[in-house]
Structure 1
C-alpha cells in the first residue's frame, strides 16, 4: 500500500477509520449510544480482525443526526426511523431529478 492509497482511504466517507471510543469522543456521545443505534440497525459498523467496531465518517454523520433528534426528546427507535425515512426521501428526490433531466433532454 502506498501513501497515496492511505490518504485516499482516509478521504473515503465509507472507510471505517474510527474506533468506537474515538467516534464517541468526536460526537460527545457514549459508546452505549453507538451500540443502541447499531442494535436499532441504523448503522452497522464494520468489525476489525479483533472484533472491534469501526465507524466511517458517513456513519458518524448519521449518529450525530440521531443524537440531535434524541436530544430534542425523540425516542431512539423513532429517531432511527426518522433518519431512515429522511434518507429514503432524499434518494427518491435525487432519482426524480434525474428522470426530469432525462425527460428534458
Structure 2
C-alpha cells in the first residue's frame, strides 16, 4: 500500500493560515514562534511556512505554556530540555538493553 503525505506526521502540509485557523490564534503569533525558534516550520519553494502535524502538536503545547505566562524564550528552553530528556531516555534504554544482552550471554543457564 502506498503511503500518502498526509499519513506522515512529519510531512510539511499545512500553511500558516490553516494552522492559525485550526488553533484559533493569529498568524502573527505563529510567525513570532518561528522567529523565537520555538517551532521552525519548513518552507515551501515560494518561501511560505509549512507545518507538520507533529509541529502543530508542539504549537498546541507552546500556546498552553504562553497561556500560563511563559515567555517565548522560556517556551523554547522548555522544548529544548524536553528534547534532551527524550534523548537521554533513549540512550538509557539502549544501555539497559546492552546490559541485559550481556547478562543473558554470561548466564550459564542461557
Unmatched segments (≥5 aa) in structure 2? 102-110
Determine if contact 1:65/1:83 at 8 Å carries over to the other structure.
no
Alignment partner of 1:63 out of 59, 62, 66 = 59
Which among 18, 23, 26 is matched to residue 30 of structure 1?
A: 26
Note the C-alpha offset of 1:4. 3.0
Give the distance between the partners of 1:74 and 1:80, measured in 2 at CA: 10
Per the alignment, residue 4 of structure 1 pairs with: 2
**Contact persistence 2:38–2:72 (CA under 8 A):** no
SS at match of 1:73: coil
SS at match of 1:54: strand
Unaligned runs of 5+ in 1: none
- Equivalence for 2:37: 41
Question: Which TM-score applies when normalising by structure 1?
Answer: 0.86
Deviation per CA, 1:14-58: give whole Å up to 9, x if none: 110100011111122221121111111122211112221111111
Partner Cα distance (2:43, 2:92) in 1: 35
Q: Counterpart in 2 of 1:21?
A: 17
Give the superposition deviation at 1:70. Answer: 0.5
Aligned residues: 101
CA-atom RMSD in angstroms: 1.6
Question: 4+ residue stretches of structure 1 with deviation over 2 A?
Answer: none
Rg comparison, structure with higher value? 2
TM-score by length of 2: 0.83
